[in-house]
């Protein structure tokens, strides 16, 4: 399968499927496709998990905010092309998780090739979850193949050496390799906390591994637009 991302900052992922190839996505994500591609709906991720596996996937989907069901698009009558447009101004990142599982913010999932499984990633320290800006739960993608994620705003990445850390304001962490660890660091000084406008805590990510940052978290854009929205009906 060949793919490309076009037209940032309102991007779309375009995939060229060979005959017999498939791609999965969350319901409602497909934007356009050629007539050689057909759709089927089922449970996403690895197959053959049985009833308990299905119940587990349902619980994970409810917690992470993703749909329990996935649409699978297959080029059944020859090669075809399919596109998935982002739901938010930003970027689409493409990861091969075969040898490097990826941990990402909730609701970032866009599409994946068969063989990739989405799981819940719990922070080891409960304080990190409550105060670190990304919540107690993130998503982990692993298995065999590609996963495509929606990122808010532009992206910038760091390749952290072992023991090297970066401090990140709330909401700006988009994704990181599973080899990274995540913690919180309290902002020191009462004046800094009260007057600085940065809250009480920063997220601290420590290597080894890559970390991807986003420049426009959804909540930041929402707060910027709030003063311009009508309060009630005229």
What values do phi and psi take at 167, rounded to 5? -95, 135
More confident residue, 187 or 131: 187
* Mean pLDDT across the chain: 82
Helix (H, G, I), strand (E, B) or coil at 165: strand
Q: pLDDT (tens digit, 9 = 90+) per residue, 148-172? A: 999 999 999 999 999 999 999 878 9
Residue 171 lies in a domain: yes
Domain boundaries, position 204: 2-228
Residue 137 lies in a domain: yes
Give pLDDT, residue 60: 53
Q: What is the rounded CA–CA span in Å between residue 107 and residue 1?
A: 24
Residue 233 lies in a domain: no
Residue 234 lies in a domain: no
Q: pLDDT (tens digit, 9 = 90+) per residue, 85-102? A: 988 899 999 999 999 999
More confident residue, 16 or 55: 16
Q: What percent of the chain has pLDDT over 70?
A: 75
CATH of the domain at 89: 3.60.160.10
Q: What is the pLDDT averaged over residues 97-114?
A: 92
Give pLDDT, residue 24: 95
Q: What is the rounded CA–CA span in Å between residue 114 and residue 116?
A: 6
Residue 168 lies in a domain: yes
CA 7-10-12 angle, 5° bins: 65
Residue 163 lies in a domain: yes
Q: What is the pLDDT averaged over residues 182-195?
A: 59
User: How far is CA 49 from its chain centroid?
Assistant: 24
Which pLDDT band, with edges at 50, 70 and 90, does 187 fall under?
low
Residue 157 lies in a domain: yes
- Per the document, the length of the chain is 234
Structure-token pair, residue 182: 């995540």
> Total domain count for the chain?
1
Q: Of 196, 147, 200, whose CA–CA distance to 175 is shortest? A: 147
Which pLDDT band, with edges at 50, 70 and 90, does 192 fall under?
very low
Residue 88 lies in a domain: yes
Which pLDDT band, with edges at 50, 70 and 90, does 200 fall under?
low
Q: Whole-prediction pTM value?
A: 0.80
Q: Which residues contact 147 (CB under 8 A, 6 or more apart)?
A: 94, 95, 97, 102, 109, 111, 112, 113, 116, 141
Query: Which secondary-structure segment (H or E) carries 151?
Result: strand 146-152
Which pLDDT band, with edges at 50, 70 and 90, does 190 fall under?
very low
Q: Are 203 and 165 in contact (CB under 8 A)?
A: no
């Amino acid at each position: 399968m060949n793919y490309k991302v076009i037209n940032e900052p309102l991007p779309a992922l375009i995939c060229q499927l060979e005959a017999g190839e498939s791609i999965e996505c969350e319901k409602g994500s497909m934007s356009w496709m050629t007539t050689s591609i057909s759709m089927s709906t089922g449970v996403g991720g690895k197959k053959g998990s049985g009833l308990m596996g299905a119940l587990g996937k349902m619980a994970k989907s409810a917690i992470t905010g993703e749909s329990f069901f996935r649409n699978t698009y297959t080029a059944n009558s020859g090669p075809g092309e399919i596109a998935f447009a982002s739901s938010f101004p930003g970027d689409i990142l493409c990861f091969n998780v075969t040898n490097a599982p990826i941990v990402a913010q909730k609701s970032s999932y866009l599409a994946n090739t068969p063989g990739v499984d989405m799981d819940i990633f719990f922070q080891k320290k409960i304080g990190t979850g409550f105060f670190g800006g990304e919540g107690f739960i993130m998503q982990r993608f692993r298995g065999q193949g590609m996963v495509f994620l929606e990122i808010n705003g532009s992206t910038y990445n760091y390749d952290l050496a072992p023991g090297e850390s970066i401090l990140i304001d709330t909401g700006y962490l988009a994704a990181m390799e599973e080899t990274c660890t995540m913690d919180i660091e309290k902002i020191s000084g009462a004046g800094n906390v009260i007057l600085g406008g940065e809250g009480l805590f920063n997220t601290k990510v420590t290597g080894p591994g890559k970390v991807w940052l986003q420049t426009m978290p959804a909540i930041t854009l929402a707060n910027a637009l709030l003063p311009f929205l009508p309060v009630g009906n005229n």
